[in-house]
Amino acid sequence: MIVTLTANPSHDRTVNLSGPLERGTVQRAESVISQAGGKGVNISRACVAADIPSIAVLPATKEDPFVLELLAAGIDCRPVPHEGDLRVNITITEPDGTTTKLNSPGPQATTRLLDELTEALVRRAGSADWIVLAGSLPPGAPPEWYAELVAALRGAGARVAVDTSDAPLKALVDALSADAASAPHLMKPNGEELASFTGADADRLESDPAAAGRAALALIEHGVESVLVTLGPHGAVLVDKDAAWHATPPPTTVVSTVGAGDSSLFGYLLGDVTGRSPDQRLALAVAYGSAAAGLPGTTIPHPRQVRPELVTVTRLPLTTGR
């Protein structure tokens, strides 16, 4: 069972252009895709496609069209009542794969909402293989809420994965230095996010897997069990206390990168719950991410579209030198 939290869900609208985006002009879209989305929701979608039990926890009313869409898609959605219209995120994709995202903030969170979301997750901690905290926080939520939630879930016996950015990521990393109980079992930054708290150069981390592996050791040294660093076209790096690996993706014609990181995280979790070795989990993560990048909008790949046998995994030297 994989339980996901999408604290700031969104109606995702992807506009596909037939040519490059031209600012200040009128352009006709080739197609528009609309889907109930958010990082945790995307992972729950992947679970359904792969026949892995999942529960999606999120703030919304039971009658919200967002919730009804998820239920119709076979996703076990457990909404926590919350007032306000869910946000709308707009993604513009160009033929060469260039992606522009316009994300709105979402409704204001309240103390009651955060407490009820915490209770909904803690209640399921004992029955879940993983609890995934994914995406941004809604306005009004303190940046340190994920760190507090990790500590509560670990105390309840859950294994926790976190994929977030900006202030919530910084707060989580800051908390690691003070309290090991705030350390997730798995973190999934991309190169830019990893650079944001290690002081490394983002472009170098994206293009140099060994540098990304060394930077990820900062999280391992503060109690995180495993770090999955996604590097876009350069694949991904996995680091734990014993070893580090780099996986190179198969050739992919990029259609949309939206949801590719979520798919990569699911691939890793799928490998874990099915008993695969760390390097095999990494291969599955990169295969899922590559398959997602080749699909339109936030489309989550079906297992039959995923080719881990085409991914090359190599061992990296595990050193602390930077």
Give catalytic residue positions: 262
Cβ atoms 43, 273 nearer than 8 A: no
Report residue 76: phi and psi, to 5°: -70, 95
- For the chain, how are helix, strand and coil distributed in percent, rounded to 5? 40, 25, 35
Cβ atoms 175, 182 nearer than 8 A: yes
Mapped onto helix, strand or coil, the DSSP state of residue 225 is: coil
Amino acid symbol at 189: P
DSSP H helices in 35-162: 39-49, 65-72, 111-122, 145-155
Closest CA to 188 of 133, 141, 145: 133
| Residue 203: Cβ within 10 Å count | 11
Q: How far apart are CA 223 and CA 225, in angstroms?
A: 6
Length of the chain in residues, anyone?
322
Cβ atoms 216, 229 nearer than 8 A: yes
Instruction: Name the pairing type of β-strands 2-6 and 54-59.
Output: parallel
Mapped onto helix, strand or coil, the DSSP state of residue 312 is: strand
